[in-house]
Amino acid sequence: MLKDRVHLPEPQIQDTISTLLAIYAAASLLVSPITGVLADRFSSSRKLPFLLGLTLLALATVLLAAGNSIPVFAIARLLQGASAGIVWTIGLAILIETVGQENLGKTIGTIFSFITVASLFAPVVGGALYSKTGYIGVFGVGIAAVVVDFIMRILMIEQKVAAEYLPQSPLLSSSSSSEITTATEASPLLPSASLSEDLSNYLLPKPAHRITKAFPVLLILTDTGLLTSLFIGFMQALLLGAFDATVPLVGSSRYGFDSLKAGLLFIPLGGADFLFGPVFGWCVDRWGARPIAIIGFLWLVPSHVLLRLPSEPAISEHLTTGQSIALYASMLALNGIGLGIINSASIVETGTIVEKYWKANTELFDQAPYAQLYGISSMVWSAGLTVGPLVGGVLKARIGYGNMNAVLGGFCGATAILTALFVGKKNG
C-alpha cells in the first residue's frame, strides 16, 4: 500500500512501517489500562465498551481500505491499537466473570491457541486474498468479520445481567455466584480462619497517596509474583513476534520460498500450539501455573537451539533440500509445543493473585479489579509483540539466525528461573 498507493520511495518504506507499528503499539499501551479502570468503575455491563472497541476497529479498517496518504494510515493504526486495547481488556474481564477462575486455564489455553494460529496465518491469508482479489477482498473480508462480531456482541447476554432476571439460573455456579455477591459493611472481611491464614500475606497497607487511593490496584503491582507472571506474558508475546518476523525470511533466503510457501512454515508452529494449548491450559487449572510455566520455558531452551540444525554445515551438506525443510519444520513444531505449554500461565496466575488481594482487601475494592489487571496485561502483551520483531530482526542481522535462537533460548531459561523463584510464592 505504501508503495502502490502513496508512492513512497523504497528507502523510506521500512522506516514508515516501523512508525506505523509503533503508533499501533503506543495506542494499545495507552488505552488498555484506561479501559481497565473505566470498565471496573462502570461494570454494570461490559457490552457497550466492547461495541465501542469494535466500532473503532471497523472505522480503522475503512480508513485503511480507502486511505491514500501517510496521515490517514497513521490515524487508522491509532484506532486499531485503541480498539485492540479495549476489546482485549473487556474480553478477558467478561471471560473470567463467565467461566470462573477455576476454569480459566483451559479456556485461556484454547483462546491463545486460536490467537497464535490467527496471528501467524493472517499474513498468508491476506497475501492470498490480495493476489486473487486485490485490496477489495482483503478489506472486504476484514469488515465482514467485524460486522459479524458486532452482531454477536449485541446478542451476547453477560452472566451478571442474566443473574438479575434469573437468580436461580443454571448459568450460575455456586462459586461464581459467591463472587458476584456484593460485600456489605457487615460482611466479614475473611469468612474463615483457614482463609484468613491463607490470605494474611495479601493484606495491603492503607493507601497514603491520592493516586493509590483512586487506583488501589497499583499497590498490587509491588508483588514480585505478579510482576513475574506479567513478564511471562511479555516473553510469550516476544517469542511470537520474533517467529513472525524471522521465519518467512528464513524460508525466503534459505529455501527460496515465495510468500505463500514461507507462510506454510507456520503450520507446524501454529498447529502444535493449537493442539497442545488447551491440554496444558487444563494442566494449569489442575496443578497451577508455576510448574507448567517452568516446564514450558525449559522446553523452549533446547527447542530454540535446535532451530540452528538445518543450517549447520556438518548437517546441511548431508541433507537434500526436502530433508532440510522437513527438519526445520519439525524444529518449529517443537517450539509450537513450547508455546502451547506457556499459553495460559501468565493470565491464570495474575488472575489468581489479584483475586487473593481482592478477597483480603475488600474495603479497598468495590469489586475484583480484573479489568484493570487485564488492561495492564494487554499493555505488557503489546510491548512484547513490539519488542519481539525488533529483537529478532536485530539479532538475526548481527549474529545470524542460529545464534539469534540461542539467545532467545537463553531468555527462556532465565524466565524459567524467575518463574521458579517468584511465581506461586508470596514474600512477606
195 exposure class (CB count in 10 Å sphere: 0-12, 13-18, 19+): middle
- Quick check: 179 pLDDT over 80? no
Which amino acid type is present at position 53? G
SS (HEC) of 371-420: HHHHHHHHHHHHHHHHHHHHHHHHHHHHHCHHHHHHHHHHHHHHHHHHHH
Q: Rounded distance, CA 79 to CA 66, Å?
A: 15
Find how far residue 224's CA is from the centre of its chain.
20
Band of pLDDT at residue 14, cut at 50, 70 and 90: low
Q: What angle do CA 240, 242, 246 make, to 5 degrees?
A: 125
Residue 171 lies in a domain: no
Residue 156 lies in a domain: yes
Residue 227 lies in a domain: yes
Higher-confidence residue of 15 and 202: namely 202
- Quick check: 407 pLDDT over 90? yes
Kindly give, in sequence order, each residue whose CB lies less than 8 Å from that of residue 58, ignoring residues fewer than 6 positions away.
143, 146, 147, 150
% the chain with pLDDT above 70? 90
Q: Return the minimum-mean-pLDDT range out of 37-51, 189-203, 412-426.
A: 189-203
Q: Which three cell numbers stand for residue 137?
A: 477482498
pLDDT at residue 234, rounded to an integer = 94
pLDDT tens-digit series, residues 282-330 = 999 899 999 999 999 999 999 999 998 888 877 877 788 889 999 999 9
Q: Which three cell numbers stand for residue 183?
A: 460485600
Which amino acid type is present at position 105? G
The average confidence (pLDDT) of the chain is: 83
pLDDT at residue 43, rounded to an integer = 66
Residue 240 lies in a domain: yes
* Residue 298, number of CB atoms within 10 A of its CB: 19
Whose cell is 496485561? That residue is: 377
Count structural domains, the chain.
Answer: 1
**What DSSP designation does 204 have?**
P
pLDDT at residue 375, rounded to an integer = 82
Query: Would you give the end-to-end CA distance of the chain in angstroms?
Result: 55
pLDDT at residue 426, rounded to an integer = 65
Q: Are 242 and 388 in contact (CB under 8 A)?
A: yes
CA–CA distances in Å: residue 14 to residues 76, 234, 259, 423: 18, 25, 18, 39
CA–CA distances in Å: residue 259 to residues 74, 136, 251, 263, 389: 26, 20, 9, 6, 18
pLDDT at residue 174, rounded to an integer = 42
Residue 67 lies in a domain: yes
Band of pLDDT at residue 168, cut at 50, 70 and 90: low
Residue 141 lies in a domain: yes
Band of pLDDT at residue 336, cut at 50, 70 and 90: very high
**Which H/E stretch holds residue 249?**
helix 224-255
pLDDT tens-digit series, residues 22-36 = 788 788 888 888 888
Of residues 241, 238, 247, 240, the one with CA closest to residue 265: 247
pLDDT at residue 28, rounded to an integer = 85
Q: Return the minimum-mean-pLDDT range out of 162-176, 207-221, 255-269.
A: 162-176
Q: Rounded distance, CA 261 to CA 255, Å?
A: 10
Residue 35 lies in a domain: yes
Residue 203 lies in a domain: no
Structural domain range at position 351: 10-163+213-422
pLDDT at residue 188, rounded to an integer = 42
pLDDT at residue 235, rounded to an integer = 96
Higher-confidence residue of 382 and 413: namely 413
Q: Rounded distance, CA 308 to CA 303, Å?
A: 10
Q: Are 158 and 91 in contact (CB under 8 A)?
A: no
Kindly give, in sequence order, each residue whose CB lies less than 8 Å from that of residue 160, ignoring residues fewer than 6 positions away.
44, 45, 97, 180
- Give the CATH number, domain containing residue 133: 1.20.1250.20
pLDDT at residue 190, rounded to an integer = 40
pLDDT at residue 167, rounded to an integer = 60
Band of pLDDT at residue 236, cut at 50, 70 and 90: very high
**DSSP per-residue string spanning 311-342:** G-HHHHTTS-HHHHHHHHHHHHHHHHHHHHHH
